[in-house]
Amino acid sequence: MTQIFFAATQYAAATITAAVKAGLFGPREGRRRVLVVSNTSAIPELTTPLDRMPGFEKLRPEFDAVHSWNEMIAPHHPAGWSPLPEEIPVWERALRLAWDLGDGPVEIACESIQANPSRAIADIFADSPIHVYADGLMSYGPTRNRMPADLHGRFRRLLHLDLVPGLRPLLLSEYGVDPVVIPGDIFQQVLKDIGGHGVSLLEELVPADDRPTAVLLGQYLSALELITVAEENELHVRMLRGAVAAGHRHLLFKPHPSAPAQFTQSLEQSAAELGVRLTILDTPLLAETVYQYVRPELVVGCFSTALMTASAFYGIPVARVGTGELLKRLTPYENSNRVPLTVIDAVLPDLEGDTAGVGTPLHQDPERVGSDLAPLVRTVGYCMQPQSYAALRDASVAWLTAHLAEHPQYFSQKRLTRLDLPGGNPSRTATLRRNPTVRRLVRGLRTARR
């Protein structure tokens, strides 16, 4: 048996390595493990490949071979290339030869199965079982696109980090795929192993006796066209001001690796005006490496997964900024960022709120998450993808009837009207019911429920 693991980022590679170390892919004996790395950045030639990043040598011993997907399909870009149907047999033979796979069985572990390069490799090895792993909050949201039967019939498990204990992932659940938790302690150890080089850099940048007490996380949301560059600059300034108001005098800003330098200029100016010290981390490092060395008293961000790792794995108090505005503007409703944004908004304190609760650890009560957060997330998921999750309609109607008035920010009246749900516009609903397109959609939903 050959196991092929796909990873596009250092965080993803750490996640799948932790799964391997935890025994979730069986014992090493009798299995050949191949790691395939890809670089899906806009211009891969200008960035460092995953297998050449500092710390990768700590992951390498878990795999018998490492190959580059970019080199294999050059000059095509990994995010935009997939084989034509008639080319698939040729590509399978080519990969088996190039990667020394022989003629034996192959199983695949990959992330983001809906997109390339994961979808491409799944198509090439068309008979192989597939284990999907997710390293972020999107695993709690619905599957973005419907999967063809010949693909989803091969799904075996969804491996994920338990970022919100008590919250069960919705991703791929419509296909009966069971979620499996990757042990957090093993994941933390893997991050510690690969973070040694980063700690050395931080020791040079931040003296041990003068470490920042608050960390600000940048996400580069303007690149996703969620907000403008000017608005993102202001978002970072709001994080700074909120942390200063909470009593912090030395702060560290960790920008997104792709963010332009102008993001830090406005922050530096604001820090000077407020009379506080600001350290800019201009070297790409995992946020978790920063947590390990700095040990901050507070982490602030918008809806970054790194907020949840700070709380769930390091016990650091966390707070959010700007989620309310993004919830109002996020389009279309089925945007994949909606569930991560909803989760962060629902469970983390607002740094700018009157009752921010900064310094209070994120509640980790699985019973409360199961009774309060999980129904909200499932209802949002149903509204995002009603055809795929038709079985959730009755529960969603019940939740909206009881709780919509308390949580209107997570739903749009237009969407509720279109789906004929509580909170929609009754007069508009009557008009929509006469619309032929809507009638076909409703018939489709009813068929799916049967």
**Using an 8 Å Cβ cutoff, are 365 and 311 in contact?**
no
Beta-bridge mates of residue 133: 159
> For 115, phi and psi rounded to 5 degrees?
-130, 165
Residue 426: its pLDDT value, please? 77
- Given 136, 158, 191, the domain boundary residue is 191
Same domain flag for 169 and 83: yes
Residue 428: its pLDDT value, please? 60
| CA dist list (Å): 320 to 215, 241, 347, 349 | 12, 13, 10, 6
At 372, list the tokens: 């309060």
Same domain flag for 164 and 56: yes
Domain extent for 137: 2-191
Give the contacts of 297 (CB within 8 A, at least 6 positions apart): 213, 214, 248, 316, 317, 359
- Given 174, 191, 208, the domain boundary residue is 191
Say if 359 falls within a structural domain: no
Of the listed ranges 148-162, 201-215, 269-283, 355-369, the one predicted with least confidence: 355-369
Give the contacts of 19 (CB within 8 A, at least 6 positions apart): 25, 109, 133, 159, 182
Residue 431: its pLDDT value, please? 59
What domain count does the chain have?
A: 3
Say if 311 falls within a structural domain: yes
At 237, list the tokens: 């300034």
Same domain flag for 154 and 204: no
Same domain flag for 290 and 407: no
Say if 365 falls within a structural domain: no
Q: What is the tens place of the pLDDT at every residue in 76-119? A: 999 999 999 999 999 999 999 999 999 999 999 999 998 999 99
Same domain flag for 58 and 162: yes
> For 192, phi and psi rounded to 5 degrees?
-65, -40
**pTM, full prediction:** 0.90
Mean pLDDT calculated for residue range 174-201: 93
Same domain flag for 182 and 208: no
Rounded Cα distance, 254 and 217, in Å: 5
Say how many Å lie between the first and final Cα of the chain, rounded: 39
Same domain flag for 248 and 329: yes
Say if 270 falls within a structural domain: yes
Same domain flag for 14 and 115: yes
CATH number of the domain encompassing residue 308: 3.40.50.1980
Which range is most confident: 191-200, 277-286, 359-368, 372-381? 372-381
**Using an 8 Å Cβ cutoff, are 172 and 144 in contact?**
no
Say if 362 falls within a structural domain: no
CATH number of the domain encompassing residue 22: 3.40.50
